Chains A and B, each alone.
Chain A
């Protein structure tokens, strides 16, 4: 069967198996198991089943109703749940013969057989396992054919080593259960006998500690040896040259290597159990010892609990509070961080920022120029150069040329300049030159 958890779960989901066992059913199965052991029989006739069931009911329910129909129903339930199987194959020809299944045997064994790990059982199991491993390593050393690898190495590893290691693991689980019960037992002992339980509790603690220590020692030593034997098998498999064997043998070797890995993992789990349980038990051991020393021995009459209970409920004493140190932490100053400036709050504008358009007089540039020229003339400018200088000296250089032309035009419009036949060119600032005019009304007179 596959070990892939997804496939296993899918299979179980498809098959929808379930178990529902009442105490009567469980006792019925247990009684069949015990009867089979006592009488050394492997199967039961139908009337034998009914007899056993009636016995069970008589024990469990002395005043119960007639059991005829109940026995049939119980047998049907067990068959439906695959705890009981018909083994004769005769069908309707005659009454059937039934046997308990492996599932029923496992359930009964869980309840009836104490299979806890002890030093003796572990030593026997591990010795057997090591002997079997030695045989397997010898088989691997002489293996030649695919069958040698498969039947001499892979299969024994899976079956014999797997079963032996599984037996150890099963007993380990039994030991775990036993340990849980022991922890409860110590608690119950102390609860019942208090001071009188100290010796017994200590003895239980010491016994379990010693057992765990011994088990762990055996596990550490023997699993190490087992790993060495498995390594021998692996070394032998690795030593086989690829050209030395055919494809079939290579498959057998690969199968053996896979079985070695599985066995190694199982041994690792077994060894890890020992150290994990010893650690966990060590904590419990220390706690219980401390409890015995600090609580039980110091309060032999067990008055403390009652007095504390009275204190808690306020029946005795006055309320109080424990004092504890509470030194403030050292104050570490942080670097100054300037808080960000506060932004002005968002407001609605109170009035329209866009002013209404108003009718204004258009600006007449020529009229302005005319006024300026007129003013310059009246101030005594006698030549065109003089007038032009006054009006363009403050303008940017790029505008002066254009302005000089307009000034000349305006001067000509306002007065009648004198222009001789020879009109000298005179320089202005910014590299401009103009014809010189004499403007009337001036002493010198010049013409553009």
Chain B
């Protein structure tokens, strides 16, 4: 067994990769084996980093599928919860990740595949309603266009969190961190019990239908400016709305 690469926290902090890893984790990024250098750095410095982030009220979590992420367990560091759109799209992407046919292309799927899978599982009407719950009467064509836009935006935001990777020409590579979306239904326990355990550990929050989760702490507008900068007006408004309030369970 080889000796640990870092003996002291000082050595970890002085490494050139530390700032990048630190910022990525604090912004909710999931780091997996495809992020070769970052993943190797976290693995080597895991003991020091766990102690370091614990002082900020966060847990550095390492899953068996081979990815790291930061889970805030107190209010010291900003946190947020994924919007309902992101959750829907994330779960559909996880279904595709589990589908053996995606191994043909090394886990690369097209935007059309995702949309048809979502529509196939949920039904087109249910999907459109889920994407625009507040709209009562809308033109079908406009609603479908809005759904496509929202799905694309959700994929982009999930990519910034390391759940997927955006490739050229609209293709998306599925990454192991997607398995977080399947956490409540993994294992042999009943989904309700698993969900309770996850809520207790702070991994997830429960949401009611039509209730949008949001940030636990007030985020500075600039904190995700780079991610929101190129949103179109409609989606930006909706996404900001998604982040506006936090349900009672989260507080």
Contact = CB atoms under 8 A, between A and B. Distances in A.
B64 interface: yes
Interface stretch (B5-13, B91-99, B136-144, B147-155): B91-99
Interface residues of B, number: 76
Nearest to A184: B104
Given A186-B103, A329-B222, A331-B222, A305 B98 contact: yes
Given A323-B203, A326-B28, A327-B27, A308 B98 contact: yes
A325 B84 CA distance: 17
Contacts of B51: none
A329 B87 contact: no
B80 A326 contact: yes
Interface stretch (A79-87, A263-271, A280-288, A433-441): A280-288
Given A312-B122, A325-B79, A326-B27, A320 B195 contact: yes
Given A308-B185, A324-B79, A319 B208 contact: yes
A321 B205 contact: yes
A311 B204 contact: no
Nearest to B191: A317
A318 B195 contact: yes
Main secondary structure of the interface of A (DSSP, over half): helix
A363 interface: no
Interface string A275-294: 00000000110011011001
Contacts of A323: 71-72, 79-81, 202-205, 216, 250
Interface in B194-213: 195, 198-199, 202-209, 211, 213
Contacts of B102: 187
Interface stretch (B38-46, B164-172, B176-184, B232-240): B176-184
B84 to A, nearest CB: 7
Contact of B27 (A191, A325, A331): A325
Contact of B77 (A298, A316, A325): A325
Nearest to B243: A326
Interface string B60-72: 0000111001111
Contact of B191 (A283, A307, A331): A307
A247 B185 CA distance: 83
B2 interface: no
B42 to A, nearest CB: 14
Given A305-B99, A308-B95, A327 B185 contact: no
Contact of A311 (B70, B84, B191): B191
A322 B66 CA distance: 18
Contacts of B180: 322
A123 to B, nearest CB: 30
A25 B31 CA distance: 56
Interface in A312-350: 312-313, 316-329, 331
A188 B121 CA distance: 21
B91 A329 contact: no
Interface in B68-118: 69-72, 77-84, 87-88, 90-92, 94-95, 97-107
Given A308-B185, A319-B206, A325 B78 contact: yes
A390 B211 CA distance: 99
A190 B98 CA distance: 11
A294 B64 contact: yes
A52 B198 CA distance: 71
Given A183-B104, A187-B103, A307-B191, A328 B220 contact: yes
A295 interface: yes
A283 B106 contact: yes
Contacts of B49: none
Contact of A322 (B81, B192, B220): B81
A309 interface: yes
Nearest to B58: A325
Contact of A324 (B82, B122, B225): B82
Contacts of B21: none
Contacts of A324: 28, 69, 79-82, 161
Nearest to B222: A329
A304 interface: yes
Contacts of A294: 64-66, 176, 179
B65 to A, nearest CB: 5
Given A294-B176, A319-B207, A325-B28, A312 B95 contact: yes
A305 B250 CA distance: 28
A389 B202 CA distance: 105
Interface centre among B88, B104, B207 (most CB of A within 10 A): B104
A191 B101 contact: yes
Nearest to B99: A305
A266 to B, nearest CB: 30
B213 A321 contact: yes
Nearest to A190: B100
Nearest to A310: B185
A194 to B, nearest CB: 8
B117 to A, nearest CB: 10
B185 to A, nearest CB: 4
B25 interface: yes
A323 B101 CA distance: 30
A400 to B, nearest CB: 76
A194 B209 CA distance: 35
Given A308-B91, A322-B87, A326-B28, 4 more contacts: A308-B182, A312-B88, A323-B71, A324-B69
What are the nearest 8 A-B pairs in CB distance? A190-B100, A324-B28, A328-B223, A307-B185, A328-B220, A327-B26, A321-B81, A321-B213
6 contacts: A188-B100, A189-B100, A194-B100, A312-B92, A319-B209, A322-B203
